[in-house]
Amino acid sequence: MLSNFALEQQLHTARQELSHALYQHDAACRVIARLKKERDESRTLLAQAERQIPISAAGPAPVAAVTNGKRALEDEVGPDGKKIRPGINPVIIDELTECNSVLSAQRKKRQVPPSLAPIDALERYTQISSHPLHKTNKPGILSIDIHHSKDIIATGGIDTNAVLFDRPSGQVLCTLTDHSKKITGLKFVPRDELLITGSADKTVRVWQGNEDGSYGCRHTMRDHGAEVSLH
């Protein structure tokens, strides 16, 4: 009896630790999503600023520009074979600094959304099943979404695959393998029976659901020049 009591205490402690870890993981994911959004906004501002930098008029004497703290001719070619361009002017730097200050102040004032499950509710959660859906040589799930009306769970992993799992039957409906790098995000569009996946291979793929529960790739968008994430 004492042994059973000790085991129950250990189980209760393990559940509490797991609940706390899940809560921290959820909070970390939300912070990462916000930081990615701010990063994308900063990149957009930089791209706009770069387009606004005036191009010096061509003349008999090349115009000198400051790059990495050194004087360089506008027509000079760098070590990578690309033309050296002028750096960011002070006006743009001031705008970026001001924007950073505003965003930082807003981030500090953010409150925890009331929709998040409280700690005491997480402590009451219990695991009812476990399903290894992705490859073990490249473990890790980076994105998940649920088709609520059909009770289907989609996961995107580091192993470049998206897996559709039917929760009631406990069976994998299909594995989508067309991406060549890790899947950074995926999202169901239940109304049209679509699944959208974004990947580090710089592509977005649109998958159409079939009557047998499988999904086939209908469109591939290759317009991005960097890793794609979905929010």
Q: Bridge-partner residues for 97, per DSSP?
A: none
- pTM attached to this predicted model: 0.49
CATH of the domain at 195: 2.40.10.480
One domain for residues 97 and 172: no
DSSP for residue 116 = S
156 lies in some domain: yes
Are residues 99 and 169 both part of a single domain? no
**Paired tokens of 136:** 């073990």
């897996």: which residue's tokens?
163
Same domain, 146 and 207: yes
Domain shared by 8 and 104, yes or no: yes
Q: Do 104 and 143 belong together in one domain?
A: no
Are 101 and 200 found together in one domain? Answer: no
Side-chain half-sphere of 73: how many Cα atoms within 13 Å?
A: 8
pLDDT band per the 50, 70, 90 thresholds, residue 65? very low
Tens of pLDDT, residues 132-185:
888 888 888 999 999 999 999 999 999 999 999 999 998 999 999 999 999 999
Q: What percent of the chain lies above the pLDDT cut of 90?
A: 27
- Evaluate whether residue 70 is within a structural domain: no
Which are the contacts of 89, defined by CB distance < 8 A and separation ≥ 6?
A: 53
Mean pLDDT of 87-113: 82
**Sequence-separated (6 or more) residues with CB below 8 Å from residue 208:** 193, 194, 215, 216, 218
Burial, 195: exposed, middle or buried (Cβ in 10 Å; 0-12, 13-18, 19+)?
buried
Residue 137 lies in a domain: yes
Residue 119 belongs to some domain of the structure: no
pLDDT-derived band at 84 (thresholds 50, 70, 90) equals: low
Q: Does pLDDT of 71 surpass 90?
A: no
Structure tokens at 83: 């033309």
Please state, as a whole number, how many other Cβ atoms lie within 10 Å of the Cβ of residue 134: 21
How many domains does the structure of the chain reveal? Answer: 2
Lowest mean pLDDT, pick from 38-42, 203-207, 216-220: 38-42
pLDDT at 185: 93
> Contact 182/142 with Cβ under 8 angstroms?
yes
Q: Does any domain span residue 57?
A: no
Between the alpha carbon of residue 189 and those of residues 133, 149, 209, the distances in Å are 22, 11, 10
Q: Are residues 39 and 98 in the same domain?
A: yes
Q: Show the DSSP H helices in 110-212 as ranges.
A: 119-123
Q: Residue 64 domain-assigned?
A: no
Q: How far is CA 218 from the centre of its chain?
A: 23
Check whether residue 172 and residue 216 sit in a common domain: yes
**What's the angle, vertex CA 131, arms to CA 126 and CA 133, rounded to 5?**
145
> d(Cα 201, Cα 84) in Å, to the nearest integer?
29
Q: Are 180 and 160 within 8 A, CB to CB?
A: yes
pLDDT at residue 197, rounded to an integer: 95
Shared domain for 100 and 10, answered yes or no, is yes
Based on the domain organization, do 12 and 102 belong to the same domain?
A: yes
Asked if 195 and 140 sit in the same domain, the reply is: yes
- How many CB atoms are located within 10 Å of the residue 162 CB? 27
Q: Which domain holds residue 101?
A: 2-52+89-109
Residue 43 domain-assigned (yes or no):
yes
Q: Is residue 121 part of a domain?
A: no
Based on the fold, state whether residues 200 and 158 are members of the same structural domain.
yes
